[in-house]
Structure formats: structure tokens, C-alpha cells
Amino acid sequence: MDSIRIQGGIALQGKVRIQGSKNASLPVLAATLLVGESSFIRNCPRIADVHSMVSLLKSLGCSVRWQERGISVDSSQVRRGEMPREAVTGMRSSLCLLGALIGRCSEVVMEHPGGCVIGERPIDLHLYALSQMGVEFTEDAGSLKAEASGLHGAYICLPFPSVGATENVILAGVMAEGDTVLEGAAREPEVLTLCRFLCECGAYIEGAGSGRLVIHGGRRLFGTDFTVPSDRIVAGTYLFGCIGAGGCVFLEQAPKEEMAAVMETAGRMGGRVCTSPEGIYVQAPERPSPVRIVTEPYPGFPTDLQSVVLAAETLGRGCSYIEEGIFENRFRILEDLDRMGASVCQRDARRVTVRGVEALRGACVTARELRGGAALVVAGLMAEGETFVSGCRFIYRGYENIGRDFRELGARVTSV
């Protein structure tokens, strides 16, 4: 089912459990390649991107089994590093297999990765960083080949804290001879989760969670039983969905320790946000207060929640300013919001102003990428009348069942 139908205008009430993290699960699953034996990864979300990663691991020789509480991965039979074209071109996060396969097989052949169209998203930083560790790259007819006859530690300084490049250095570094020092590392919680998993498998990584990592390579890794944390972006989607649609909700198992910037922004929008050991409680204002946000690398406000704040502020009490500091093509929902009666002015490729209107009206809109699609669902919850969101295959890449979750909060949402 590729469309979602929403009957809007209903305030949200109740509680919903937050799924496991997409952005943490994928690099952890990639890291199981380095273990060479069985691992059990709990709380993996049942989303399209995880299913694609499972297919990739199987194609490489892993034995992968879904169980009730997680995924069992046995990578003992992996012998080659060639990934099927059809899997790689549809999933940007397949890129994190690059560092893992270099560490395991010393050779990788892959197509350039795909994923959401939200900007150029070049892979130059990945190639630069890994080349410092002895990896040689060649390109031929759209394929990327990487070889490392002797993977070694290095001193690497990233000019931008790329999450993917940081993860690839970590994955390669734990298998390299000697120490790798990475300056300018991404500090996102997903990077910390990857380091925790590898350390539980026997790796030694210093500085996890900071901008400077020291990865002591060459240690034998072994399998472990590991639990992926809850998804901070899904939790933020539902939090700002409540701010926009009204009501009060409890986000069970929301990773509040990773969401300081999100909760601070919700407070500035007029929401009442409280935390407990079990999650986050949010009570919406009558209408959102205007805000100014600029997306930044963690611990700043996440780019993945920019579009849902934009949607919520279409019913705000004034004029909000939103600047996209990470990607240059992340305002793809503006045409659809305009169709719903929103007043959004795009000042340039990275900046918009949002002037709140009295009401949105339901319309037929189209998801063109993951987070923008989720924001259109939120706009549908806020609108008067019926909204149809097509292109939901993008949404299912990151949300187990966004319709079910909003129904648990009282919304009238069905898949069609």
C-alpha cells in the first residue's frame, strides 16, 4: 500500500511506543560483518531500510534470521565483498558496508549508493578518510572498487563531521593494524551506539561521543547480544506532530537523553515537555509560537526534523524562520504545503519563512523523501478535511507503521 488517507482536525491523545533506531541499527548490522561469528541485535525496527540491509548481508554470505525480539546474524561464512547493484542503488546507508567489508575482505565492489534525494550528498569524505588508511579506489562504469593490501591506522581530520564517514573510519579502524586517530568526528548518538557495540565485541575505542576518536585496531572481535536504542527522529516526529495537531501524548521509551535540542525547540514553540524514566510527555499549545531554527550536526537541531517543524509552524501564531544548515535540497514539501493552504516563502535554497495561517485544508500530496513524507502526514493531521499522501514507500524506509502509531494517539489514519 503506497498511500495514506488522513481525516484531519483531531487533537492527539494517549501514548505510543517509540521503535528502534533506524540510523543506529544499520551501522550496527554492518559491523556484524567484522565479528566472524553470531551476534543478536535486539530492537531493530521492521522498516524497509533494515530489510534491505538484511538482504545485503545475506547476499554477502551471512546467515540472518528475524526473531521476535531482534535479528540474529552469523557472518562466519562471508568470503567476498561484492554487493548486488539493485540493493546498493536503492539504499544510501549501504555505504556503511564499505568500511566493514574493507576490514573483513580487504576488497569491495559496489555501485554508488542511492537513498533519498535531499542534496548532492557526495562520498568524497568517505573516500578521503579510508584512503589515509591504505585503501585504493578505482571507478569503472558507475562501480566503485576499493582494495587494501594492508589496512593500517592513520591520523585523519574530517573538514565536516560526516556521520557516514565517521562510521566508515571506525569500522575499518577496528580491523586495521595500529591506532587510528579521527579528529572532527561526528558526535551523533548513532556513532556512539556503533562504538558501544564494537566495544562489547572486544574493540577498544577511546573518546566515543566526542569529536576526537582513538581506535585501537587489530583486536579479535567476538559476537554479542546488543540492544539498539529507540529512534530519536521518530520520537521527534510524533512530538512535533502533537505540537502541530494539538493534544497531549506520552512517547514511551523516547531517548530523551539524545533529544535536548528537540525538547528545547518544542518548549519555544509553546509545548509543555516533561520527562520521566519511561519517556517524554508533551502537551501542545493552542497554536505553536513562532521559532527560529538552524539545523546543525549533533548536538544541534537535527536536519531530519526540520520539515516536521516547518509543517507544525504552518498553523503558528506568527512568522517562523527555518534555515537548513546540512543539505541544500530539503524543502521539497513546499509545493504540497502550498496546495494545503500554507504560507511559506522560500528565500533561497537553504532558508524559508513560515507565516502561520488560520487553517490548512486537506489535499492530495506526494512524499518525495523520507522525512518530508512524514511531515506531510503531520500536515494532514493538522488540516481540515481529508488528505491523501502518496509515495509512502519513502516513509516506510524509516517508520515501521506511522499510520498505526498515530491511530494509537487517536488520529484517523488508514493505509490505502
Catalytic residue among 44, 116, 195, 201: 116
Q: Is 248 a catalytic residue?
A: no
Amino acid letter at 411? Answer: A
Q: Is 348 exposed, middle or buried (0-12, 13-18, 19+ CB in 10 A)?
A: exposed
Whole-angstrom distance, CA of residue 345 vs CA of residue 335: 11
Task: Count other C-beta atoms under 10 Å from residue 210's C-beta.
Answer: 11
Dihedral (Cα; 119, 120, 126, 131), 10-degree rounding: -170
Secondary structure E strands in 326-411:
343-348, 351-355, 364-366, 386-390
- Buried/exposed 148-187: b ≥16 CB within 10 Å, e otherwise: beebbbbebebeebbbbbbbbbbbbbbbbeebbbbebbbb
The C-alpha cell that represents 360 in the structure block: 490548512
Q: Would strands 179-183 and 155-157 be described as parallel, antiparallel, or unpaired?
A: parallel
List the catalytic residues.
Answer: 116
